[in-house]
Amino acid sequence: MHGITITQFLIEEQRKVGSATGEFTLLLNHIVTACKRISCAVNKGALVGTMGNLESENIQGETQKQLDVITNDIFLEANQWAGYIAGMASEEMDDPYDIPEKYRQDGKYLLLFDPLDGSSNVNVNISVGTIFSILHSPQGVTNPKVEDFLQPGTRQVCAGYALYGSSTMLVLTTGHGVNGFALDREMGEFILTNPDMQIPADTHEFAVNMSNQRFWEAPVQRYVSECLQGEEGVRGKDFNMRWVASMVAEVHRILIRGGLFMYPMDSKLRDKGGKLRLMYEANPMSFIVEQAGGASSTGRERILDIQPSGLHQRVPVILGSKNEVGVLVGYHRT
């Protein structure tokens, strides 16, 4: 039997909230459309010659790929015109996007996104994704400034990602659990395939870029060396390791079968604050992981509790199976 479409799912969810006006459901529908368009753009990449680098750099000083810019434009275009959104910000833009005057209408929401996460993987045909986070726009603000976006992750109304992998999946939370939808390309619809996703509390799989080992802090050194000792070591079990270098793919794997993912602080990242960006990578993924029963921390504090100080702020990230995150966070206390 075919599952329900994402549109039916969203409308049924909306019915449960008596006071809902339907605007939020429509807003999510535009995000869904943007993700379908991005899925097509990523799939066609090599055929239409969009797999290369551009000469430009983004605010993070990273060389932009053609697809970084194309997918950023798709997200802006799909979401700017309906009036539900007061402001948008993304990894690919230094400042919040100026929504054209003709579309401005006291929108209730702010949208933050990374249009193509893991884009260093795109020209080698490895999974990439889109990450997004929705916040309330402060009341009475029609042209939101950076300060209006700087809300802690606990204030997110919704977070989600699309994974462009062997199939395209969309995973969402609005604070009532996590649901996953697979794109049926023939129908052109996302279908509910993974209702109420739950992360197992225990795991024997970790994900980290091992090439940074010599730069890590002591707690992470200890944790990984104990995992590598396997059955003979203090952990008393063998661990497996994965590193896709696409956070969306790693978080999706953890939602399906558990695991621990980290991009920890290291001595060469200290000035930047970490590698991953708080507002459109760490916060939405932490919201999803916590809603699926997992945990997420910098090692020293819960990510969702951080009061942001900048749109492109970076933080160390440790997330996944609750008990395993607990072990590593515990090592940061000793």
- For residue 62, state whether it binds ligand AHM (rule: CB under 6 A): yes
**CB-side exposure of 55: number of CA atoms within 13 Å?**
0
Residue with the CB atom nearest Mg ion in the bound state: 117
Q: Is the dihedral of CA 250, 253, 254, 260 positive or negative?
A: negative
Q: Which stretch binds ligand AHM (CB under 6 A): 34-42, 46-54, 113-121, 215-223?
A: 113-121
223: tokens are 């944790």
Residue type, 269: L
- For residue 151, state whether it binds ligand AHM (rule: CB under 6 A): no
Three-state secondary structure of 194-214: ECCCCCCCCCCEEECCHHHHH
Q: Residue 119 or residue 298: which is nearer to ligand AHM going by CB?
A: 119
Q: Which of 14, 119, 168, 298 binds ligand AHM (CB under 6 A)?
A: 119
Residue type, 277: R
Q: Residue 10 or residue 282: which is nearer to ligand AHM going by CB?
A: 282
> CB of residue 209 vs ligand AHM: minimum separation in angstroms?
4
> CB of residue 261 vs ligand AHM: minimum separation in angstroms?
8
Q: Which stretch binds ligand AHM (CB under 6 A): 117-125, 146-154, 266-274, 289-297?
A: 117-125
- Number of Cβ within a 10 Å radius of residue 14: 18
Q: Residue 33 or residue 212: which is nearer to ligand AHM going by CB?
A: 212
- For residue 165, state whether it binds ligand AHM (rule: CB under 6 A): no
Please, what's the largest Cα pairwise distance for the chain? Answer: 66
Q: Residue 81 or residue 215: which is nearer to ligand AHM going by CB?
A: 215
Q: Are 159 and 133 in contact (CB under 8 A)?
A: yes
- Helices vs strands, H then E, count in the chain: 8, 16
- For residue 117, state whether it binds Mg ion (rule: CB under 5 A): yes
57 strand-pairing partners: 63
Q: Which of 209, 213, 225, 240 binds ligand AHM (CB under 6 A)?
A: 209
- For residue 114, state whether it binds Mg ion (rule: CB under 5 A): yes
250: tokens are 């790693």
> CB of residue 44 vs ligand AHM: minimum separation in angstroms?
20
Return the ∠ at Cα 221 (arms to 216 and 225), rounded to 5°: 145
Residues that bind ligand AHM (CB under 6 A): 62, 91, 114, 117-120, 209, 245-247, 263
